[in-house]
Structures are given as structure tokens and as C-alpha cells.
């Protein structure tokens, strides 16, 4: 993956579409895809659902058709990073884009941000949006684990899952091949423009550093194993970059073997954010898989 040498902060208004300034995503470069829709900050289609602990979870709905949930990555993730997927999916599906708790316009809440809790948050969104049929789910990294957990907890509401950069997670594993977790100040310094924009969205910006620490403490106790994968009845496509250090190839292969209806796609020479590095290759395996949803 090319080193990030320049960060792009777009300020052009896309008045043709009547939208606000598009949001950049963490580590975005001048070469990366930028949607004209401000996913994660579009008041025209934005809504809130109330989670079981009272937290307000922000979501947006685009398009018409079978419901399709899109979930972004964790900690530094945002709906904007999933823009290229949503721009394509909304032409044929009703896309539900969720800012998971603690991200963007969603509150941190009082509950521990486990994947079981995030799956329950997703359930609250579907209830608020009055979506009763089975949904397709596409999630990246943290969003992939949330999608997989939702499929295990709510099998009657899951049509199919596409999980990118998510595999077996053994307790104590630190993503990215690091020996210890980075502190918020270190991550903030990697892309200060991104965090400045995000702080303007967050309903509780003063809690960001504390939230970041608590989220990492939860990750230290996270386990995603046979108990989750074995319960998933819906078809699942696992997509992984060959050089992924957050969800190493071996961990994704292990998850694939645990899934009752699993399929696997490995994208050569790409890192964790494989779809940012080579979207055409990822879309080439995702698009045909969507027929699983169409047949519901």
C-alpha cells in the first residue's frame, strides 16, 4: 500500500445535488474515491433510533428496494469511507447507513460497546425505520464483526452478509500487528483534519478521548469464534486483503471454515482497507453475491 503522503480536505459544495460538503474519511488521499453525498452528515435523510441504554444512534436511508445495511469500520471509521459502496448499492436497494455508537452523530451511551450491543443497536435502527423483512449486510472491519454478530443473534432478520476485513478474533489480539494499542493523541495526530471535522459532528466531543480508550479496553476482551460463526444461518462472503494485518489471512480462513454457508475472496496485494486500495476487484466479487439478497 502506498504511504499516505497527502491528505485531501474537500470544501467544494455540490450544489447540483443539494447536499452539504462531503465528509472526508480517515487517511483519505487525493487519489481516493470521494462521494458527492455527505454520508454520515446528510440532514435530508438523517434519523435517530434509541438504543436499549437510551443512546441515540444516527442513521441515513437512501434508495428503494430490498433493505441493505452498510456498516463502517471502528474507532477511525465513518460512513464516508463506505461511500463508493453506497453510491452503487442505492441504485437497486434501500441502503441503511449507520453511524455506530460513539462514531459521528451517534452518542457513546452507557453500555459497553461490545459487538452484541452494536448488533442490538442495529436492531433498534431497523425497528425505528420500520423494516421488518430480512436485510442484507455489508460491513468493514468493526462493521464486519457487527454484521456477523447480528446474523448470529438475529437469524430471522438476516438475508446475507458481506464482511470485509473480519475473521476469527482471539482474546488479546491487537489489530494492525502492534505490540500495544495506540493512544488517542497518537491516532489524532495521524489525521488531525479528519478529527477536527468529526468533532463538529459528535454530540459529545468532550468524551472522544475517553471513548477511544474504553473502546480499546473492550477490544482487549473481545472474542469472535465458533460461538458466533457457527450460529450464522445466512450465506456469508468474507473478503480480505492478502496483506491485511488487522484481520490476518489465517484468521479469515479460520472463520471461513466455521461458517455453515461461507464463501471467501482474497484480494491480492492489498491491506486491511482492501476496497480503498482496489475497489474494482472487491466490487467484482461483491456484486454477484448480491443475488443472494435478490432471491429472498
Flag whether 255 is in a domain: yes
* pLDDT for position 292: 83
pLDDT digits over 179-198, tens only? 788 899 999 999 999 999 99
pLDDT digits over 254-279, tens only? 999 999 999 999 999 999 999 999 99
User: Which grid cell is 102?
Assistant: 460513539
Flag whether 13 is in a domain: no
What is the spatial distance between Cα 241 and Cα 260, in angstroms, rounded to a whole number?
22
Whether 8 shows a pLDDT value over 80: the answer reads no
pLDDT digits over 206-260, tens only? 999 999 999 999 999 999 999 999 999 999 999 999 999 999 999 999 999 999 9
Flag whether 51 is in a domain: yes
Query: Given the DSSP bridges, would you call strands 56-62 and 67-71 parallel, antiparallel or unpaired?
Result: unpaired
> How many angstroms separate the most distant Cα atoms in the chain?
49
Please, are residues 160 and 93 in contact by the beta-carbon 8 Å criterion?
A: no
pLDDT digits over 127-154, tens only? 999 999 999 999 999 999 999 999 999 9
Flag whether 31 is in a domain: no
* pLDDT for position 177: 76
Compare 136 and 291 and report the one with higher pLDDT.
136
pLDDT digits over 73-123, tens only? 999 999 999 999 999 999 999 999 999 999 999 999 999 999 999 999 999
Please state the domain count of the chain: 1
CB burial of 217-236 (b: ≥16 within 10 Å; e: otherwise) equals eebeeeebeeebbebbebbb
Whether 35 shows a pLDDT value over 60: the answer reads yes
Flag whether 41 is in a domain: no
Flag whether 5 is in a domain: no
CA angle 199, 219, 167 (to 5 degrees): 110
Rg (CA), the chain: 18
Q: Which residues touch 134 (CB under 8 Å, ≥6 apart)? A: 156, 157, 158, 159, 296
**Domain around 61:** 46-291
Q: Which of 13-27, 40-54, 96-110, 252-266 has the lowest mean pLDDT?
A: 13-27
Within 10 angstroms of residue 78's Cβ, the number of other Cβ atoms is 24
* pLDDT for position 296: 66
User: Which grid cell is 161?
Assistant: 452478509
At 88, which CATH number? 3.40.50.1820
Flag whether 38 is in a domain: no
Flag whether 8 is in a domain: no
Amino acid at each position: 500500500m502506498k504511504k499516505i503522503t497527502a491528505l485531501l480536505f474537500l470544501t467544494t459544495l455540490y450544489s447540483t445535488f443539494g447536499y452539504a460538503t462531503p465528509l472526508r474519511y480517515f487517511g483519505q488521499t487525493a487519489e481516493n474515491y470521494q462521494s458527492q453525498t455527505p454520508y454520515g452528515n446528510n440532514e435530508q435523510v438523517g434519523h435517530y433510533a434509541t438504543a436499549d441504554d437510551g443512546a441515540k444512534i444516527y442513521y441515513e436511508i437512501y434508495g428503494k428496494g430490498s433493505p441493505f445495511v452498510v456498516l463502517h469500520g471502528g474507532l477511525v471509521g465513518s460512513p464516508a469511507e463506505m461511500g463508493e459502496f453506497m453510491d452503487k448499492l442505492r441504485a437497486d436497494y434501500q441502503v441503511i447507513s449507520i453511524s455506530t455508537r460513539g462514531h459521528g452523530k451517534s452518542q457513546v451511551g452507557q453500555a459497553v460497546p461490545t459487538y452484541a450491543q452494536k448488533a442490538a443497536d442495529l436492531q433498534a435502527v431497523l425497528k425505528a425505520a420500520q423494516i421488518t423483512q430480512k436485510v442484507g449486510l455489508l460491513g468493514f472491519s468493526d462493521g464486519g464483526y457487527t454484521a456477523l454478530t447480528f446474523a448470529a443473534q438475529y437469524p430471522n432478520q438476516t438475508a446475507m452478509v458481506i464482511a470485509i476485513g473480519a475473521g476469527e478474533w482471539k482474546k488479546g489480539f491487537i489489530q494492525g500487528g502492534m505490540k500495544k494499542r495506540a493512544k488517542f493523541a497518537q491516532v489524532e495526530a495521524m489525521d488531525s483534519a479528519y478529527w477536527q471535522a468529526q468533532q463538529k459532528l459528535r454530540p459529545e466531543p468532550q468524551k472522544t478521548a475517553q471513548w477511544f480508550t474504553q473502546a480499546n479496553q473492550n477490544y482487549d476482551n473481545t472474542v469472535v469464534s465458533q460461538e458466533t460463526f457457527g450460529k450464522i444461518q445466512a450465506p456469508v462472503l468474507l473478503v480480505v486483503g492478502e496483506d491485511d494485518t488487522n484481520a490476518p489471512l489465517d484468521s479469515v480462513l479460520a472463520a471461513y471454515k466455521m461458517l455453515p454457508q461461507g464463501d471467501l475472496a482474497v484480494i491480492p496485494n492489498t491491506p486491511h482497507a482492501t476496497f480503498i486500495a482496489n475497489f474494482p476487484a472487491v466490487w467484482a466479487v461483491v456484486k454477484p453475491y448480491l443475488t443472494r439478497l435478490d432471491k429472498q
